[in-house]
Amino acid sequence: MNFQFLLSLISAVFIGGVAGYLGSLMITKRMGLVGGPLGHLALPGVALALVYHFNVFYGALLTIIVGGILIWLLEIKTKAPIEALTGLVFASGCALGFLILPFSDEHQLEEALIGDITKISFSDTILTIILCSLIFLIIRKIYSKLVLTEISEDLAKTEGIRVKKYNFIYLACIAIIVALTVKLVGGLLPVALIVTPSLTARNFSKSSFQYSFGSLIFGVISATFGIFLSQITNFPAGLLIILSGFLIFLISIIFKKS
Amino acid sequence: MEETILKVKNLNVKFGEEVIKNLSFEVKRGEFLIVLGPNGAGKTTLFRALLGLISSSGEIIWQDKIPKIGYLPERLSQDKFKNLTITIKEFFHFKENSDEKIFSILKAVGLEPKEILKKNPGDLSSGQFQRMLIAWSLISEPEILFFDEPATGIDVGGEETIYSLLGKFWKEKNLTILLITHDLDIIYKYATNVLCLSKKGFCCFGPAREVLTPKVLEKIYGTGIKFYEHKH
């Protein structure tokens, strides 16, 4: 097992686990699909990063945040339905991404779309570990508050929960995690890392604890599987992680709790 | 003379049009105040304004500081819980970590903790679910409770259990209760005061037997409906 392989394995495990954990909350809040458009929003940033040779994560995070603010501003200005505006902004983001991408070389186009973790640097691995640990701790702290908000916002507010503040923290965590997943699975597929582990964990869980930590564990398992399979087959790791996750989900249906 | 816990002066709430207009009343500590009125008269809106969940103008003055509040919103959906992976125990842990306390409050509302703690709240019967919510609102030992039609959708027998539970806790724990209900039976049985609202606004305030005259009831609910006071 060489050092580079170890770095990609560690990064994938951290990203996969925390994306799964956060995903369980996103599914609870019926926001599972948000990972899709956000990932696409990352594309122009990824493209810029590849053309100008800076860290893909920063590029992705930059355009996700810019896109998010744009959607928010457009909503205030136009009062149009937010999902339509999200559609508008993420499709435009995608288009812009594809305009910039040809300026990078061909292999990089693939990296932007489906990710490449196998060449992750030591410093990026450290960054990934720190960010993932931080987000895990933050989400663990606000998890139950956000679940109560989902049950009833009025109830949460009477319990003294500052709903707007926690929603903001939650959305910031999503932006960072999606930007991290882009490294692993590219701009097209982050949604898979977010929803698949939780869907699997749901089949085994009766409590919120089992569900949230189950999602984390299934995220870790899929990531580990994918990375090892990629090592053996030489296929892109991101794709194999997603397909491993899907396979595990299918198996979990057989054991689904009654 | 009991102290005043809440004073409301010239309260106004607007959602485009005025839902609550110049409403003033007082709540004394230990009171059981029932808010009565047809749908659309602004009862739930009044609660939400008092709890600071929506913006309002006028004065809402709590004695000293805002007391510990328990709130049971209208029609908290059981289906919502069914879609969540959560146990009753975890739902109580939002507010209280002591399992001992959770056990005793569940028993107090007539539920068997051992049977239900690992269940999803969505799997309870509607009567059990409502009793669990009452326990949930009581567990933080609030001084004042806001209950918005806590017996909606429960069969007649179950309704009676809910209200007699509320009556029991009110007496035992010296609570102040604000309750929205249509049930005149309950009003005559428990209410120390009633506040009635109609679609046109404030209608009456005071002890039920004094203020709920046939004329007032007609004003609240319109003509053609007759209510009879039940003597117990």
Alpha carbon of A79: minimum distance to chain B alpha carbons (Å): 17
What value does the mean pLDDT take over residues A93-98?
A: 89
Chain B interface mutation, best of A208, A211, A215, highest count of B Cβ atoms under 10 Å? A208
d(CA A83, CA A65): 17
* Burial grade of A18 (CB within 10 A; 0-12, 13-18, 19 or more): buried
> Do strands B57-62 and B4-15 pair parallel, antiparallel, or not at all (unpaired)?
antiparallel
Reference A63, options A31, A40, A85, A84; nearest CA is A40
- Amino acid A103: pLDDT: 79
Q: What is the average per-residue pLDDT within A244-250?
A: 96
A151-179 pLDDT per residue, tens: 999 999 999 999 989 999 998 999 999 99
Band (A11; pLDDT cuts 50, 70, 90): very high
pLDDT at position A87 is: 87
Average pLDDT score over residue span A141-153:
93
A13 pLDDT band (50/70/90 cuts)?
very high
What ipTM does this complex have?
0.86
Please give the interface size between A and B, counted as residue pairs whose CB atoms are below 8 Å apart.
Answer: 56
Interface of A with B in 21-80 (CB under 8 A): 28
Q: What is the pLDDT of residues A188-235, one digit of tens each?
A: 889 999 999 999 999 999 999 999 999 999 999 999 999 999 999 999
- Chain B residues at the A interface, defined by Cβ less than 8 Å, are 48, 51-53, 69, 71, 73, 76, 80-81, 84-87, 89-90, 93-95, 118, 120
**Does position A12 have pLDDT exceeding 90, yes or no?**
yes
Name the residue in chain A with its Cα closest to that of B91: A148
Rounded Cα distance between B24 and B56, Å, is: 13
CB-side neighbour CA atoms (13 Å) of A154: 23
- Supply the mean pLDDT for chain A: 91
Q: Which of B45, B84, B86 to mutate to test the interface with A (most CBs of A within 10 A)?
A: B86
Considering the segment(s) B1-67+143-232 as one domain, its CATH architecture is: 3-Layer(aba) Sandwich (3.40)
Superfamily of the domain at A3-254:
ABC transporter involved in vitamin B12 uptake, BtuC (1.10.3470.10)
**DSSP code of residue B221:** H
Q: Which helix (H) or strand (E) holds B44?
A: helix B43-50
Measure the CA angle with vertex A111, ends A90 and A128; round to 5°. 85
How long, in residues, is chain B? 232
The DSSP line for A16-30 is HHHHHHHHHHHHHTT
Identify the pLDDT of residue B67.
84
pLDDT at A123 > cutoff 70: yes
Answer yes or no: do B76 and A208 touch at CB < 8 A. no
A257 band by pLDDT with thresholds 50, 70 and 90: low
| List of chain A residues whose C-beta atoms are within 8 Å of the C-beta of residue B52 | 157
Tell me the domain boundaries of chain A.
Answer: 3-254
Confidence category of residue A187, pLDDT binned at 50, 70, 90: confident
Contact across the interface for A157 and B120, Cβ inside 8 Å = no
Q: What is the DSSP letter of A34?
A: G
Q: What is the dihedral of CA A128, A134, A138, A141, to 10 degrees?
A: 120
- Count of residues in chain A: 258
**Is A205's CB within 8 Å of B71's CB?**
no
Over chain B (232 residues), the average pLDDT of each successive run of 10 is 85 86 90 90 92 91 85 87 92 91 93 94 91 92 92 76 88 91 84 89 86 81 60 52
Domain boundaries, chain B: 1-67+143-232, 77-141
pLDDT surpassing 80 at residue A1: no
* Cβ-defined contact of B80 to A159 (cutoff 8 Å): no
Residues A36-52: pLDDT tens digits?
Answer: 888 888 989 998 998 88
Q: What is the pLDDT of residues B145-194, one digit of tens each?
A: 999 988 877 777 777 788 888 898 898 888 999 999 878 888 888 899 99
Of B48, B95, B118, the CB nearest to A154: B48
Q: Which of A252, A253, A221, A222 is nearest to A240 (CA)?
A: A222
Interface residue of B55, B85, B145 to substitute, partner A, most A CBs within 10 Å: B85
Residue A258's pLDDT band (boundaries 50, 70, 90)? Answer: low
